[in-house]
Structure 1
C-alpha cells in the first residue's frame, strides 16, 4: 500500500506531567476555548491536552498557528523529503472551521482525537475529507493523485526500496479502480467507506497516522 506518513508527536500518557500540569488551557486571546470544552469535544485527558497545548506554545508563543509555521514544524519530522505540499493539505484538513490560525490548536486537538481515539468510520471520514481537496463531497482521481504525490515527496529517501516517479500514479490507479464503483469518475464517502472496509490492503493504506502515532 501507499506509505503512511507520520505526524506531530502524540500527547503523552496520563502519567506524564510537567511542573505546570495544573495550568488551565488555553488563554488564546483571539479565540479562547476552555479546557472543559476541549475535554468534551475530544477523547483526550486533561493532562494530554495541556501537554499538546504546551508543545504548540513552545513553537508559537502567540498561540496562533498559521500554515507556514505548521509546515516548518512538520518538516522537521521529514528532513529527507519535502513536506510542504502535504503539510498544506494537512493544515487544510485540520482547519475544519476555516478560521486558519485563530482556532487551529483547537481544531488540531479535535482532529488528532479522531485519528488516535476515534472509531474506524470516524477515521475514514477524516481521511476522505483530506483527499477531498476542493471540499465538494467527492474525491476525483486528480484529488487523490495530488495527495499521493505530496506523501511520496515528503517521504523522500526513506522509502525502501526506492520508488520511481510513476509510483504515486500507479497507486492511485489501483485505488481508484476499486473505489469508483459506479464508474462515474468520482468517489463518494459511501464508496470510499465500503471499499476500505472490504479491502484490507486499501484500509491499511488509507488509515493515515494509524500506525505511526
Structure 2
C-alpha cells in the first residue's frame, strides 16, 4: 500500500461519477465528497493504464502497489481479492473507495482488524490456518528481502511459536477473536492498515476545492 500512495498526482478526470454517487460513497466512508472526487482521479489513472474500461484490472493493481515491479507478491494478490468485493476479477470505483476507506487514519480500528484478518485468511475458511500463516510469513520475508536470511526450519519455528501463543482453543488455527487478542497485544500488526496520506488527499488536487460541484454546506460537514 505504500507504493499505491505514490500514485497520487494531479490530472483531469475524463468522466467523473455523478454527484449523487460521490455523496453515497462519502456517506458510507470517512471520505468527504471532495476526497471521493480526488480518489476518482487516482482510479482513472489506474483503470486506464492497460485497458481503458473504467475498471482496475489485477495486473494494473499489482503493478501499482508493487511500484512497477512484476515480482509476484502474495500480500498484493490478497489485497486485490479484498478490493474486488464482488469477485468479478476487476475493481469498480465504489469498491476502490470503500476498500481504501479502511486505510484512512480515521477509520475505526475494528474495521482495520477485521480487514487484516480477512487478508490472512487465505482460503476463506474464517480462520488463519497454519499453512496460510506460514505462507504469509514467507511472503512478508520476501517483501523485505529477508527470505534468504532464515531457513525453512526457522520459519516453521516462528509459525509454531505464533500458534502456541495465539491459538488459545488449541485447534491448530486462529479465529477472529484470537486474532483480536493478538492485535491488542501487538498493535504493530495493523500498522500498515493506515495510510496517513489519505487524510490530506485533496492537497494533491487543490483544484477540487475551487471547482467542485459540491454545495458549500457539504464542504464543511
Instruction: Please give the TM-score of this superposition, normalised by the length of structure 1.
Output: 0.73
Per mean C-alpha deviation after superposition, the further-off stretch among 64-73 and 81-90 is 81-90
1:207 to partner: Cα distance: 3.6
Find the counterpart in structure 2 of residue 51 from structure 1. 38
The CA RMSD over aligned residues, in Å, is 3.2
Distance 2:151 2:43 in 1: 35
- 1:13-24 alignment runs, 5 A limit: none
Distance 1:140 1:171 in 2: 14
Find the counterpart in structure 2 of residue 209 from structure 1. 193
Contact 1:49 1:109 in 2 (8 A): yes
1:101 to partner: Cα distance: 1.2
Find the counterpart in structure 2 of residue 30 from structure 1. none
Which of structures 1 and 2 has the bigger CA Rg?
2
- 1:60-209 alignment runs, 5 A limit: 60-61=47-48, 62-76=53-67, 79=69, 82-101=71-90, 103=92, 105-116=93-104, 117-156=106-145, 163-166=149-152, 168-197=155-184, 199=185, 202-209=186-193
1:171 to partner: Cα distance: 4.0
Residues 141 and 35 of structure 1: is their aligned pair in 2 closer, same or farther, counting only changes over 3 Å? same
- Structure 2's unaligned 5+ residue stretches are 198-221
Contact 1:6 1:209 in 2 (8 A): no
Contact 1:129 1:135 in 2 (8 A): yes
Distance 1:163 1:102 in 2: 36
Distance 1:144 1:65 in 2: 28
Residues 66 and 171 of structure 1: is their aligned pair in 2 closer, same or farther, counting only changes over 3 Å? farther
Contact 1:11 1:52 in 2 (8 A): no
Distance 2:193 2:91 in 1: 25
Greater fraction of residues in helix: 2
SS of the equivalent of 1:48 reads: helix
